Structure 1
């Protein structure tokens, strides 16, 4: 599969462990791809839920996916500052149809003031039991929560103060071509 290139638009599809489609984002603009990572932007992007409900994102958001890590990061650009929504999820794959990953319920939200909150613990425990996540998978996911929190604390990668600014400016350049 040929990697999408800067300026291309792709679909992102989130699945659950049982293989069911969870959510899809249409027309995410690719800002950068490497062998292991993809950086993109959603700006008033159509999102379709598994029950057919549709909505449009309210603000621009820089998205970060990596093939090594079991999380992805969404940096939402809001008037009161940058908020992050981080999904604990499988590493992504890209095929002819979309960028795809499995969402494992646990999320870390980072507020503009730096405060962080682990979300959806009950949902994770419910799905872990219902969908029979293995002990190995449970360990991997919990270890990646620790890695993600370390990135947040160290302002690494997408959590660097300059990261969102650099990629948002690149998006504006491409958008205005």
Structure 2
């Protein structure tokens, strides 16, 4: 797999299990790009929903994608601290100047004090039945939720102290 280069602009594309496009973040800048990890950033970027509605992100965000883990992490810099939104998803692929992944509805929302909530279990159950997720996928996703919770508890990877701030400082060196 080819990796995006630092400083390049990419789209982030989220799909559903049935292959339908779910959501697109129009423009993010790559801060680090390898075949295994992509770290990107955006601020006030346009997001297009599958039904055509659009909205603009409210704050700077650092995005962490890993080719081996079934989740991605978005660290949002707000006035009262860093909030994380973690999508339980397929590992990413980089293709056609875009990061692509399958969103499996389940999300972990993490607050500045590192407490968290698991969100959208009802939506996951509905889509699991509609799209006939295989049993093995269910186990993979819930195992990755446990891995993600351990990362939060251990302050690992994108949850380590200073991670989001360090990458945000790098983001500020780029001029769009």
TM-score by length of 1: 0.97
Q: Is the 8 A contact 2:7 2:29 kept in 1?
A: yes
- What is the CA distance between 1:38 and its match in structure 2? 0.1
Matching of residues 1-177 of structure 1 within 5 Å: 2-175=2-175
Q: Is the 8 A contact 2:2 2:35 kept in 1?
A: no
Q: Is the 8 A contact 2:89 2:104 kept in 1?
A: yes
User: For 2:175 and 2:154, how far apart are their aligned partners in 1?
Assistant: 31
TM-score by length of 2: 0.97
User: For 1:97 and 1:43, how far apart are their aligned partners in 2?
Assistant: 19
Task: Give the SS at the match of 2:100.
Answer: strand
User: For 2:24 and 2:129, how far apart are their aligned partners in 1?
Assistant: 25
Task: Give the SS at the match of 2:132.
Answer: coil
Q: Deviations over 1:11-44 (max 9, x none)?
A: 0100000100000001100000112010000111
Task: Give the SS at the match of 2:162.
Answer: helix
Q: Is the 8 A contact 2:4 2:34 kept in 1?
A: no
Q: Deviations over 1:47-71 (max 9, x none)?
A: 0000000011010000000000000
Between the two proteins, the alignment pairs up a number of residues equal to 176
- What is the CA distance between 1:165 and its match in structure 2? 1.1
CA RMSD of aligned residues (A): 1.1
- Which consecutive unaligned segments of at least 5 residues does structure 2 have? none
User: For 2:175 and 2:116, how far apart are their aligned partners in 1?
Assistant: 32
- What is the CA distance between 1:97 and its match in structure 2? 4.4
Q: Deviations over 1:57-98 (max 9, x none)?
A: 010000000000000000000000000000000000011141
